[in-house]
Amino acid sequence: MVKNRRLESEGPIFGIRHLQCLLVFCGLSVAYALRVNLSVAIVAMTDRNDSNPDFDEYKWTEKTKSLVLSSFFWGYVVTQVPAGSLAHKFGGKVMLLLGIGVCSVLTVLTPICAKLGDWKLVCGLRVIQGLSQGFLFPSTHTILSKWAPVEERGTLGTYSYSGAQFGTVVMLATSGVVASSSMGWPGIFYISGGVGMVWTFAWFAWGASSPAEYKKISPEEKKLIETSLGCASKPEENTAPMKTPWCRILTSVPFLVLTLVHCTHNWGFWTLLTEIPTYMKNILGMDIKSNALLSALPYTAMFLMCFVFSTLQSTLSRHQCIPLSVSRKLFNSIGHWIPMITLIALGYVGADRINLAIVLLTITVGINASTYLGFQVNHIDLSPNFAGVLMGITNCAANIMSIIAPLIVGFIVTDEKSSAQWRFIFFIAAGFYFIGNLLFVVFGKTTVQSWNDMESSRVAKERDGNCAESQH
């Protein structure tokens, strides 16, 4: 009750912490637009009949196009773990600024690179873009761990990460129009890269790694944040970054479970993202990629559901209906086990039920938004001080699964028109969803781990009373 009165009486309704989350939302929107722009533009780049015919056309084979599209993730996986450590050492603001800033500049240079070096130079450029975006999620988690009070962690985290879906929706829905305009397919890269540069300047001016770095924050809001996080992390002023306890982290059961659930999530999500268009073309007789608005529909649903789930979680938290641990596991179960059911059902939908297939696909992707209130914010629960490091490790492992999953599909689906083979793929993805969430429900934790702050463990007992309140 004391905690709730404090939250109601201190700090503005829209404070600096909300500004930071808004900026992060815009940054993730830009980052995902830069990530998916080539998947749309490459259609126009290789077939001028699909866009403005006045621009260059490249005779790239399907193998070459797949190579170019996948090259982003080669770099993306590499920088995940070091990104977490660098964000912990130098602050989330600097690393996020460099990551999106570099990616934006390279995006603007994409058309000229294609002209000068054909697909090889574009492939190299995308690898560097992947390297730069590897800093994205570890830096975002580090920022949220410093700005989001424990009571608002799920809501602010969901609002911030919903930018990923928003950027995907905007890019998928507008790229076709831009490619057909007088700007042609190069306009896709010029516009998205230009917007990224604008965001970089805005983040440089108004972004901050922590409340301690933001000079104009009100004393009330700063006190609200630091009081809430006081039992989970030390004040940052005059404090050098702590040494990362790698051994303790890598042998922590709650963290290992978190890594596994992140991997199983990515297996299901990326199987869906990369293979559903092929399935709908060969089994249902339609090409979902040919309709930009239809391609964006599942991600529009996911974006909107972010706000539905965050509002629900905020209401439950405000009325103290369920403990934090139950909340995390409940929303993660919604985000994994409902898609598990719809994936299985999708495998039995025939070509005569196209509308039903689209509904199931939209539900499967849209309900995934619930995981933002589940495992995706659990890194901060376990260790606010090393949240970026944890995110870097789990995201690295999970994105390796993202690369492997499509390869397994290619191994199993030898006949793309075989419903039985595709059904087996959906069963595998559904099985990963089931197992991953089951492990999280049974072994997942939300309490701050002892290795979060080794130096202050000596005085932990003196603060147990206050910590219990902050950690629910």
| Alpha helices, DSSP H, located in 134-213 | 136-147, 153-180, 186-206
Is the Cβ–Cβ distance between 57 and 46 less than 8 Å? yes
Is the Cβ–Cβ distance between 171 and 40 less than 8 Å? yes
Q: Angle, nearest 10°, between helix axes 324-346 and 292-318?
A: 150
Rounded Cα distance between 106 and 20, Å, is 25
Q: Residue 143: which of 239, 209, 229 has the closest Cα?
A: 209
Q: What are the sequence ranges of the domains in the chain?
A: 15-229, 246-471
pLDDT on residue 287: 57
Within its chain, how far is the Cα of 436 from the centroid?
18
Q: Which residues of 310-325 are buried (b: 16+ CB within 10 A; e: fewer)?
A: bebbbebbeeeeeebb
Is the Cβ–Cβ distance between 431 and 193 less than 8 Å? no
C-beta neighbour count of 240 within 10 angstroms:
7
pLDDT on residue 339: 94
Is the Cβ–Cβ distance between 140 and 28 less than 8 Å? yes
- Residue 429 has phi, psi (to 5 degrees) of -60, -45
**Which DSSP letter does residue 183 get?**
T
Considering only CA atoms, give the Rg of the chain.
22
Torsion of CA 441, 447, 452, 456, to 10 degrees: -160
Q: Residue 22: which of 149, 162, 145 has the closest Cα?
A: 162
pLDDT on residue 410: 77
Rounded Cα distance between 364 and 354, Å, is 15
State which residues of the chain have pLDDT below 70. 1-12, 50, 231-241, 274, 277-278, 281, 286-293, 454-472
Look-up of token digits 């930009």: 292
- For residue 382, give every residue at least 6 positions away whose Cβ sits within 8 Å of its Cβ, in sequence order, or none: 252, 254, 255, 258, 390, 445, 446, 447, 448, 449, 452
CATH of 246-471, one of 3.40.190.80, 1.20.1250.20, 3.40.50.720, 1.10.10.10: 1.20.1250.20
| CATH annotation of 15-229 | 1.20.1250.20
Q: Residue 21: which of 201, 137, 151, 158 has the closest Cα?
A: 158
pLDDT on residue 326: 94
What is the full DSSP assignment across 241-305? PPPP-HHHHHT-HHHHHHHHHHHHHHHHHHHHHHHHHHHHHHTSS--GGG-HHHHHHHHHHHHHH
Q: Residue 199: which of 54, 102, 333 has the closest Cα?
A: 102
Rounded Cα distance between 70 and 404, Å, is 12
pLDDT on residue 279: 75
pLDDT on residue 293: 65
What is the full DSSP assignment across 204-252? HHH--SSGGG-TTS-HHHHHHHHHHHTTTS---TT-PPPPP-HHHHHT-
- Identity of the residue numbered 79: T
Count of residues for the chain? 472
Does 15-229 match 246-471 in CATH topology?
A: yes
Q: What's the token pair of residue 226? A: 């630091």
